[in-house]
């Protein structure tokens, strides 16, 4: 019976959060847009197949062609289809944002959970490490890390020569410095939860520290972790775009919104639409993730009015 009551309470809590979320119109619209842009970007190979084109095939005789039925957003400086390349760029930028945010959230959750539950010298060491990462100047640090020569890193040659190595590098670099917000958030909540009656009861019953953290404390931290992760995705997409714009991010032939913008910077006066499309995609997507995060924050706040 007690399990039934707990499950019923959990369902009612999530149902209440869903109703709150639906009242946040900007968050709902943003969520719909993000689902749409993710599905659209994932459909890039299908668009290529149906239209009989190759996104990477150059056609110098049709450079800078204006939008038409054959090229919906026109052609770029090499005669490649802008619409299809924009979709492939969306795949990479969204993948970097989502995967990096999840990796950073996972690492930050582990650090914050251990620090908050253990306390004492463990908490002191982990939080000083967190403070050290926070105090570093973010953009210069990312530029330095992105400029490291992988040939001197000791990695296997097959990985270094991989077409997607720049993608893996960006995910790793941003995740290395992007976990601190989640860590501090989880640590603060864990410090409070470890003194709650249900945690003390689990200790009395002989539950291990791992079980207490994973079964009793972590489920109560899901809401703030979701909110923090969602809000961080937009910032990560911006960081990837900045590094790609500086030539230190995703490298051609792999397309991302950032390097599409980089390729268009010298053509801003002769072909401004080449910069407009990836620029507006980055802007709207980052804003949408921020609105979605705000909506989730309001919806998952236990102190909010129903």
Structural domain includes residue 176: yes
- Can you give the residue range of the structural domain that contains 112? 2-300
pTM, to two decimals = 0.85
What's the pLDDT tens digit per position in 124-154?
A: 999 999 998 888 887 787 777 777 777 766 6
Structural domain includes residue 266: yes
Nearest Cα residue to 101 out of 225, 197, 246, 251: 225
Question: What would the mean pLDDT of 297-302 be, rounded to a whole number?
Answer: 76
Structural domain includes residue 116: yes
pLDDT of residue 283: 92
> For the chain, how many structural domains are there in total?
1
Identify the band that residue 165 occupies on the pLDDT scale cut at 50, 70 and 90.
Answer: confident
Identify the band that residue 3 occupies on the pLDDT scale cut at 50, 70 and 90.
Answer: very low
Structural domain includes residue 45: yes
In degrees rounded to 5, what are phi and psi of residue 64? 60, 25
**Which CATH number covers residue 148?**
1.10.3720.10
Structural domain includes residue 305: no
Q: CA 79 to CA 24: how far, in whole Å? A: 43
Q: Which of 39-53, 173-187, 196-210, 242-256 has the lowest mean pLDDT?
A: 242-256
Start-to-end Cα distance in the chain: 27
pLDDT of residue 194: 86
Share the mean pLDDT of the chain: 84
Residue 9 has pLDDT above 70, yes or no: no
pLDDT of residue 103: 93
Structural domain includes residue 227: yes
Q: CA 182 to CA 159: how far, in whole Å? A: 30
Q: CA 63 to CA 89: how far, in whole Å? A: 20
Question: What would the mean pLDDT of 176-189 be, rounded to a whole number?
Answer: 89
Structural domain includes residue 306: no
Return the percentage of the chain with pLDDT > 70, whole number: 92
Residue 238 has pLDDT above 60, yes or no: yes
Other Cβ atoms less than 10 A from the Cβ of 210: the count is 9
Question: What would the mean pLDDT of 87-103 be, rounded to a whole number?
Answer: 91
Residue 4 has pLDDT above 60, yes or no: no
Residue 288 has pLDDT above 90, yes or no: yes
Structural domain includes residue 235: yes
pLDDT of residue 38: 94
């Amino acid at each position: 019976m007690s399990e039934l009551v707990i499950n019923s309470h959990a369902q009612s809590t999530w149902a209440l959060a869903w109703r709150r979320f639906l009242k946040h119109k900007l968050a709902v619209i943003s969520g719909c847009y993000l689902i749409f842009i993710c599905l659209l970007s994932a459909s890039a190979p299908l668009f290529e197949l149906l239209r009989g084109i190759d996104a990477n095939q150059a056609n110098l005789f049709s450079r800078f062609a204006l939008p038409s039925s054959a090229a919906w957003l026109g052609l770029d400086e090499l005669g490649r289809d802008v619409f299809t390349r924009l979709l492939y760029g969306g795949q990479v930028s969204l993948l970097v944002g989502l995967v990096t945010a999840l990796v950073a959230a996972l690492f930050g959750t582990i650090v914050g959970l251990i620090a908050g539950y253990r306390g004492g010298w463990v908490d002191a060491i982990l939080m000083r490490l967190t403070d050290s990462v926070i105090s570093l100047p973010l953009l210069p640090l990312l530029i330095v890390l992105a400029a490291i020569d992988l040939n001197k890193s000791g990695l296997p040659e097959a990985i270094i020569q991989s077409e997607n190595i720049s993608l893996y590098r960006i995910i790793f670099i941003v995740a290395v410095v992007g976990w601190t917000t989640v860590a501090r958030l989880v640590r603060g909540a864990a410090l409070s939860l470890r003194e709650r009656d249900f945690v003390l009861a689990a200790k009395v019953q002989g539950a291990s520290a791992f079980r207490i953290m994973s079964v009793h404390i972590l489920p109560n931290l899901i809401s703030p972790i979701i909110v923090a992760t969602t809000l961080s995705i937009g910032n990560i997409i911006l960081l990837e775009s900045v590094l790609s714009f500086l030539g230190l991010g995703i490298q051609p032939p792999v397309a991302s919104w950032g390097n599409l913008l980089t390729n268009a910077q010298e053509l801003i006066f002769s072909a401004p639409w080449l910069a407009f499309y990836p620029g507006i995609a980055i802007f709207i997507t980052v804003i949408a993730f921020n609105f979605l995060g705000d909506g989730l924050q309001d919806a998952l706040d236990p102190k909010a009015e129903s």
